[in-house]
Amino acid sequence: MEENGSLEEKVKEDEKVYTLSEIAQKIKDSKKRVTLLYAFNATGKTRLSMEFKNLVNEPKDDEVIKHVVYYNAFTEDLFSWDNDLENDNERKLKLNKNSSFIELIERQGKENEIAERFKEFTSSKIEPNINTSTGEITFSLPTGDEESVENIKISKGEESIFIWTVFFVLMETIVAELNIDGISDRSTDEFNTIQYIYIDDPISSLDDNHAIDIALELKHIIDSSKNENLHFIISTHHSLFYNVLHTEMSKAKKFWLSKNEDKYLIIELANNETPFGYHFMLKDELKRAIENNTIKRYHFNLMRNLLEKTAHFLGYDSWKDLINEEDKDSYIKRMNIYSHSNHSALETKELEQHEKEFLKRIYEKFILEYKWKE
């Protein structure tokens, strides 16, 4: 496989590493209206969003003037399920009413709008019933004849879409208000200090169709923003989601974030450097981790991902068909264990050297057999 314009070459050209606070400053200093950032999981995207928040928010006296509204993994933590284990009847999604984010939704009175947007995003008839005063959300499914199944438990993907919908409606409201030039003409002064909307991985549990839909909806709302002082920063590990945004937003500043031990590489991407390129990015990340002996457990996920994409490209049914070892079943079993993160003990445990050597062996044989250009 011929490599064209590898990101590895860019890393060699600029080997400077940064802290996350320095990268946050770099993004702020760019003053670009839209910044796109691609990074693999476990490389610091969510921590970067918090560093950016701390950088731009302005402490004043006993309060903080907020200049950024953000969506990240902590946003999802504001919601939790009460499954009514005793009666298995009143299942509800509970929200943290102490959050300023939730308080803002309540003050803006956007419950009905959120419910309609959720049905639009999921292409379903599921009805969210939002009660911000009690901090509870239930879901029902109409069955016809004015009847419905009450208190249903929605899927993890639907839950992710619902939480994203809450933020999306808030973002629409912010954009619409800040589009009004005259501050005194706005319906609220709550958003007057907002300068940034930071979105980190809104589609972690979604299929590709929803990823494309959300990317296009996001582009639409960004295009609708007329306030030159409002900036958008979007980071993701989802290659398709990133690629849609990369293609649609030609004027955006684009970066690839990669971790190097306790420091970070930040590579600026040109418009013709999309993540299809993604398989090259996987390869470059694996190569660097092996050369620096900084292999982490998530690198097994990257290796499996690279095998899957190569198998698909070559017309194989499965990535397992690319493993040419006498003890093939053992190799596959070990790859499955290392590349699935359901075992919390494994996830936190430091890799042994023999485990690192196992990944190195698979990688080097893969590069040799499938004729990747080094």
Residues 248 and 318 placed together within one structural domain of the fold: no
What CATH code is carried by the domain that includes residue 67? 3.40.50
Residue numbers of the domain that contains 343: 295-369
Residue 329 lies in a domain: yes
Residues 124 and 225 placed together within one structural domain of the fold: yes
pLDDT of residue 346: 38
User: In whole numbers, what is the pLDDT of the chain averaged over residues?
Assistant: 81
Residue 158 lies in a domain: yes
* Rounded (10°) CA dihedral 350, 352, 353, 359: -80
82-87 average pLDDT score: 60
Residues 154 and 221 placed together within one structural domain of the fold: yes
Residue 98 is given by DSSP the state: T
Residue 290 lies in a domain: no
In angstroms, the Cα distances linking 253 to 27, 31, 245 are 9, 9, 11
Residue 92 lies in a domain: yes
Q: What is the pLDDT of residues 167-193, one digit of tens each?
A: 999 999 999 999 999 999 999 898 999
Domain total in the chain: 2
Angle between helices 298-314 and 278-291 (to 10 degrees): 140
Q: Is the pLDDT score of 290 beyond 70?
A: yes
Q: Is the pLDDT score of 17 beyond 90?
A: no
Residue 355 lies in a domain: yes
Compute the distance between CA of residue 112 and CA of residue 208 in angstroms, rounded to an integer. 27
Which among 223, 253, 268 is the end of a domain? 268
358-369 average pLDDT score: 87
pLDDT of residue 347: 43
Q: Is the pLDDT score of 9 beyond 70?
A: no
Residue 83 lies in a domain: yes
pLDDT of residue 27: 93
Residues 189 and 42 placed together within one structural domain of the fold: yes
pLDDT of residue 373: 64
Confidence of residue 150 (pLDDT cuts 50, 70, 90): confident
Looking at per-residue pLDDT, the higher value among 338 and 1 belongs to 338
Residues 302 and 162 placed together within one structural domain of the fold: no
Q: Is the pLDDT score of 5 beyond 60?
A: no
Query: Tokens for 5?
Result: 């314009």
pLDDT of residue 274: 58
Residues 86 and 148 placed together within one structural domain of the fold: yes
Q: Is the pLDDT score of 6 beyond 60?
A: no
What number of residues does the chain have?
A: 374
Residues 25 and 128 placed together within one structural domain of the fold: yes
Residues 31 and 170 placed together within one structural domain of the fold: yes
Residue 286 lies in a domain: no
Q: Checking DSSP bridges between strand 136-144 and strand 92-95, what pairing results, if any? A: antiparallel
Residues 215 and 360 placed together within one structural domain of the fold: no
Residues 247 and 208 placed together within one structural domain of the fold: yes
Lowest-confidence pick of 226-230, 254-258, 268-272:
268-272
Residue 280 lies in a domain: no
76-97 average pLDDT score: 72
pLDDT of residue 252: 93
Residues 345 and 208 placed together within one structural domain of the fold: no
Residues 262 and 337 placed together within one structural domain of the fold: no
